[in-house]
Structures are given as structure tokens and as C-alpha cells.
Structure 1
Amino acid sequence: MSGMDDAPVTVTLRVNRFTPRPERDRGARGGSPFAKKSSSPFGSSTESRNRRPRGKQWTQDYTLQVRRSDTVLDCLLTIKRTIDPTLAFRYSCGHGMCGSDAVAINGTPTLLCTATVAQWAKQPNALAATDEEGFRHTGERDSSTDIDSETSDTADDAGDTLGVIELAPLPGFPVQRDLIADIDPMLDQIRKLKPYLQADGVLATTHDGKVDVFEYLQHPQQLARYETLSNCIACGVCEGSCPVFAGGDAFIGPAALIAASRFVNDSRDTATAARLEAIDTADGVAACQSVRACSRHCPRGIDVGEEMWQIVAKVKER
């Protein structure tokens, strides 16, 4: 099997590209007096990500020889270094730890550095395939279209061509250039919910008046309540998968709610009531439609949909 992974094959990356139009200097002119103002505490971020990008948009194909085990990030780096230095995309660690390279691959939000060519390359007819109800399948990979199936392997042996991988910026965010999305709206919403431990400020002491160095000592059960949530890398995959957030509706988004839930579940935090109050708004937990699409491709294994349900229940019970 390793020999097959190392054998060179041909794949085409179909990249949705975008070059922004230079901003015009409007001088000291203010905004329209008739512009709609948002009363939401998260409104500014929602408005910024709803702005349509202005500039040149087109689709460009890059065909190259790769290995099945190569990641999509490996392919983009090859294109950048040997074919087209103007192609823009974002990455950092390259190991699925930083979350900076989230894009939509074949319509599904995921990380470039964890997506392999063998997993995502599709024949052109598979990319456009629909079910009997007319819905296009972009995220699920069944046995009929999986590149690792016997049918696909037979086709590859004949032509050594895996097919096409479609790449687009992460849905739900303004596009800056090519595959680079502006995730600042998501980070702003996370900051607004104060994602840091808030204690009561009282210095704990022992019975003899000395500082208690075990002030924040926790039981394993207490740690388990928030440990998984602390693995969130704010990549935006859950937000790009959410039909409410990616659809442009006013919604604080699952990433910010996960950050809030992490501290709500922390036994050391004393601001639980304030945290629940902050998200109990029309565009907070009330906007979540419990679709649970946010759970499907979390690179850190967080069941985002379940955590969303838990935080919604806590808000209703308070």
C-alpha cells in the first residue's frame, strides 16, 4: 500500500481566485444617514463579514504530479514555488495545530494540512453528482465516489489521474485574496465574551495564614468538563459549516460559544452568570438552529453540536 501512495499521479486543483479592488479614498465623508444600525452587541462583526468583496473573481486550474499521500497544502506549496507565485493562501504550522489554513475543499470546510489528495480528489462527474432529491453531495464521501474504492483504483491504474479538487475560501467570512479569508470577525466575537479565567480575586490561605498553593486544585472530573473544549484552535471550520453563520445571518457563531462554554464548565471561574447573560441574546444562543453541521469536520475532535446544545440548556435553566 505504501508503494501505491508513493507512485506519482496527476491531480488538478481548481482554485477560486480573487484579487481585491483598491480601496477608494472617500475623504472625510461620513456614512449614509439612512444606513441600518445594528443594536446587537455582536453586530459590527456580523456587518463586516456580510460585505461583498469587490474585485476580480475567476477560477483557475493547476494540474500537477503528486503522491496520493500528499496533502492539499503540499500541492499548493508546489504551485506557489514552481508554477504561480501569485497564488495566495494562509498556513503556519502545517500539522493541524494552528488552524490558520482552513478553506472549503469540494465545498466542505476543513484544513489544508490534514486533507490528503487521496481523500479529496474526485472525478469531474462525482463533483457534480446529486441524489434523487436533487441535492449535491460535497461533504460526504461514500463508496461510489471514494478515491480509495476498487472502482477508482481501476481507473487510476489506467490513466494515473485522480481527478479534481475544488478549493474556495472559508464560507461565512470576507475574502481578502484567493483562499485567504478574514477571520477577524470570529476573533472579535470570541474576545467580546472574555475568553479568560475570571476568579473572585480573593487570595486563598491555609489555616496558619500562609498562601494556599493548591487554591485552584481540581479533581479529574472537574478537569474533564472543559479539557476537550480547551483544544479549540479557532480555525473557523465550525463557523464555515454552520448554515446560520455562513449564511450571513446575525449569529455570534459556534466558535465564540465554544470559548464561552469552556469557562462556564471550569470550576475555577466565578463569572458563569455573566457569561450566560452575555450569550442570552437574539443573535446568541437563540440563533442556533441545532443543525449540528458544526460537529462534522472539527479538526480537534470536539463535538461542537453537542456542546452547543449543552450551553443552550444552561442558558434556559438559569
Structure 2
Amino acid sequence: MSGMENGMETVTLRVNRFTPRPERGRERGGSPFARKSSPFGDSGSARRRPRGKQWVQDYVVPARPEDTVLDCLLKVKRTIDPTLAFRYSCGHGMCGSDAVSINGTPTLLCTATVKAWAKQPSDAQVDEDGFRHTGEDVQPAQTQDADDLGVIELAPLPGFPVQRDLIADIDQMLGQIRKLKPYLQASGELATTADGKINAFEYLQNPQQLSKYELLSNCIACGTCEGSCPVYAGGEAFIGPAALIAASRFINDSRDGQTDARMDAIDSADGIAACQSVRACTRECPRGIDVGEEIWQLIAQIKER
């Protein structure tokens, strides 16, 4: 490429690729031991491991430290390999569609910069028997190219079936969110003033009421919390942190009239009770939501009612 020939800095994208095998005949179900009665979905066929060709492919592209990983993938798509598949939309961290695993951490492609995620190869050497030497007998490693920014490892979002390359199937997560009715449900009674006129301030809130759910409304359903959750990735029918955050957003909204029904919906073995309070879901939320704390508050609310 002309950029590399001119001595521009480069980065290596190490992509875990996957091409599904064409389905033949009737689709087979999941494990006969999987629970089928969960209201949040079937953990058997929905999460069965797709079959196909898997391999790791390196792409070396010209890049600047401030470029995003999405910028680099677009260069690969446009100039090197048009078959590489990944998902993105807005490119500004607002839609959540480009969540993947970068160096083993669920995050968004469009907010991850090369400078923050590129890592240099280890100086430790591996001998022919596969042992890594780190003592004084280690010979100096080969000098790193000054124009090489390092390596970034990319894989699809954990906890979800893979559709192709870096595209994960998040339909199950979205379905679980929809089942909890993520929209305002008021009582339906039209408020009136003392003289019988329509009350235009029926749903007026004070700042304290707004603060209880305002941050939760910023959730973009990217799935990074679910990709970080060891319970959700375990293959059971756990509703998952994204759906619980969607429920909490309306449970904490003073205008909503279905608080008890919403709590009943998540108060089950596959709902709030399945959370193990690991709080890994909090670490990589791109919107700054303390997911683990919010779920803990839900647990406390359910216990107190």
C-alpha cells in the first residue's frame, strides 16, 4: 500500500474470522437438558454454537495513533479484503451496533483508538518446545519497527452466537428487552384541573425524579455488558443486564404506572435471582452506567416490597 511505502505508521489487526456452514435440512435443537420454560427465551437452540470455518487473519494497515479501530477496519474493507464482515452505523458511539471484543474486552469499535488498544509483542522468547523464557538467558528480541504501532486482536462479542466474522447475533438480547415492555405505561386516566380542564402538567417531574432514571435512558443496547457477564455467557436463560437496565429505567420513572408488574416480570429464577453480583457488566459500559450497582438496587427494591 502507498501509505506503508511512504513510511507511515502501521497497525496489525489480528481478526478472528468465521464463515458459517450452509444449513442443510431441518435445524437441530439445543441440549435436551436445557431449560425450556424460561419466559426470557430458550437457552438451547438460541445459543447453540454455529458451525463453519474459523481462522485468524492478520491485516497490516496504515494508521495514526488517534485513528479508531473502526477507521482501520474500514480501510481493510475498502482496500484489502472486501469479504471482511463487521457491523457499524453511526460511528460515534451513539448506536451501539459495532460492539466487539478488542484484546479480549467487549467495547465499541468506533470509540476504541489505536493508541489505547495496540499492544507490542512480548519481549519474552518461546523455544521450540513451547516454553517461554524470561530469565537472564533470554537473547535480545528483534528490534521493533519504529513505524509499527502494534497488534490489535479482534473477535466477535462474547456471549452471543456468531453470524459471520465480527458480527454477533444479538437478536436474543433485543427480544429479552422487548419482553419487558421498554416503554412508558401510564395509568391512562386523563388528569384534569379543579375547574375540569385538561391538566397540561400531568407528567411534570422535578429534578430529583428525573435524576433517578436519566442516566439509564442513555443505554444504547450495545451488548458490552452482556458480553462481559459470566452468567449470561454461561448459556443459561438469564435475562441479562441489558434487559434489567431497561426495566430499571421505567421502574424508577415516576410517570410509569406499572412498577409492580415490571418487578414481577424480573422476579424469577432466570431474572434478577440469576445475577451473581460479579459486576463485570459495569466495567466497559460506553455510556457510563454503573450496571452492577443498578442491578443491585433492583435486587434491594424487590426484597423490600
Shorter-normalised TM range? 0.7 to 0.9
Q: What's 1:146 paired with?
A: none
Deviation, 1:10, is: 1.6
- Given that 1:48 and 1:174 are in contact with CA atoms closer than 8 Å, whether structure 2 keeps it comes out as no
Instruction: Write the letter of the residue equivalent to 1:185.
Output: Q
- Given that 1:16 and 1:167 are in contact with CA atoms closer than 8 Å, whether structure 2 keeps it comes out as yes
Deviation, 1:279, is: 0.5
Distance in structure 2 (CA, Å) of the matches to 1:168 and 1:157? 25
Deviation, 1:37, is: 5.2
- Given that 2:35 and 2:237 are in contact with CA atoms closer than 8 Å, whether structure 1 keeps it comes out as no
Q: What's 2:250 paired with?
A: 263
2:279 is aligned with 1:315: no
- Given that 1:239 and 1:246 are in contact with CA atoms closer than 8 Å, whether structure 2 keeps it comes out as yes
Deviation, 1:184, is: 0.4
Q: What's 2:91 paired with?
A: 94
Instruction: Write the letter of the residue equivalent to 1:95.
Output: H
Q: What's 1:213 paired with?
A: 200
Structure 2 unaligned residues grouped into runs of 5+: 1-6, 126-141
Deviation, 1:157, is: 8.8
- Given that 2:68 and 2:109 are in contact with CA atoms closer than 8 Å, whether structure 1 keeps it comes out as yes
- Given that 2:159 and 2:233 are in contact with CA atoms closer than 8 Å, whether structure 1 keeps it comes out as yes
Residue by residue over 1:176-210, the C-alpha shift from the partner in whole angstroms, topping out at 9 and shown as x without a partner, is 00000011000000011111111111110111111
Which of 65, 69, 74 lines up with 1:68 in the alignment? 65
Distance in structure 2 (CA, Å) of the matches to 1:126 and 1:308? 42
Which of 201, 205, 214 lines up with 2:188 in the alignment? 201
Deviation, 1:33, is: 12
Residue by residue over 1:10-50, the C-alpha shift from the partner in whole angstroms, topping out at 9 and shown as x without a partner, is 21100000001111123xx9969967551110132x33442
- Given that 2:86 and 2:166 are in contact with CA atoms closer than 8 Å, whether structure 1 keeps it comes out as yes
1:127 and 1:177, CA in 2 relative to 1: closer, same or farther beyond 3 A? farther
Q: What's 1:291 paired with?
A: 278
Deviation, 1:158, is: 5.7
2:25 is aligned with 1:25: yes
Q: TM-score, normalised by structure 1?
A: 0.84
Pairing 1:141-180 to 2, within 5 Å after superposition: 159-180=146-167
1:127 and 1:119, CA in 2 relative to 1: closer, same or farther beyond 3 A? farther
Distance in structure 2 (CA, Å) of the matches to 1:127 and 1:269? 58
Cα RMSD after superposing both structures: 2.3
Which of 268, 288, 292 lines up with 1:281 in the alignment? 268
Q: What's 2:118 paired with?
A: 121
Q: What's 1:3 paired with?
A: none
- Given that 1:49 and 1:173 are in contact with CA atoms closer than 8 Å, whether structure 2 keeps it comes out as no
Structure 1 unaligned residues grouped into runs of 5+: 1-6, 129-154
- Given that 1:51 and 1:174 are in contact with CA atoms closer than 8 Å, whether structure 2 keeps it comes out as yes
Q: What's 1:226 paired with?
A: 213
Structure with greater proportional helix content:
1
Distance in structure 2 (CA, Å) of the matches to 1:206 and 1:107? 57
Q: What's 1:39 paired with?
A: 37
1:288 and 1:95, CA in 2 relative to 1: closer, same or farther beyond 3 A? same
Secondary structure at the aligned position of 1:159 is classed as coil
- Given that 2:163 and 2:169 are in contact with CA atoms closer than 8 Å, whether structure 1 keeps it comes out as yes
Number of residue pairs matched? 283
- Given that 1:106 and 1:127 are in contact with CA atoms closer than 8 Å, whether structure 2 keeps it comes out as no
- Given that 1:8 and 1:65 are in contact with CA atoms closer than 8 Å, whether structure 2 keeps it comes out as yes
Q: What's 1:148 paired with?
A: none
Distance in structure 2 (CA, Å) of the matches to 1:218 and 1:298? 27
Instruction: Write the letter of the residue equivalent to 2:255.
Output: R
Q: What's 2:179 paired with?
A: 192
Secondary structure at the aligned position of 2:115 is classed as helix
Secondary structure at the aligned position of 1:166 is classed as strand
Q: What's 2:8 paired with?
A: 8
Deviation, 1:316, is: 1.1
Query: Percent identity at matched positions?
Result: 75
Deviation, 1:71, is: 0.2
- Given that 2:30 and 2:44 are in contact with CA atoms closer than 8 Å, whether structure 1 keeps it comes out as no
Distance in structure 2 (CA, Å) of the matches to 1:192 and 1:208? 40
- Given that 2:29 and 2:45 are in contact with CA atoms closer than 8 Å, whether structure 1 keeps it comes out as no
Q: TM-score, normalised by structure 2?
A: 0.88
Q: What's 2:135 paired with?
A: none
- Given that 2:30 and 2:45 are in contact with CA atoms closer than 8 Å, whether structure 1 keeps it comes out as no
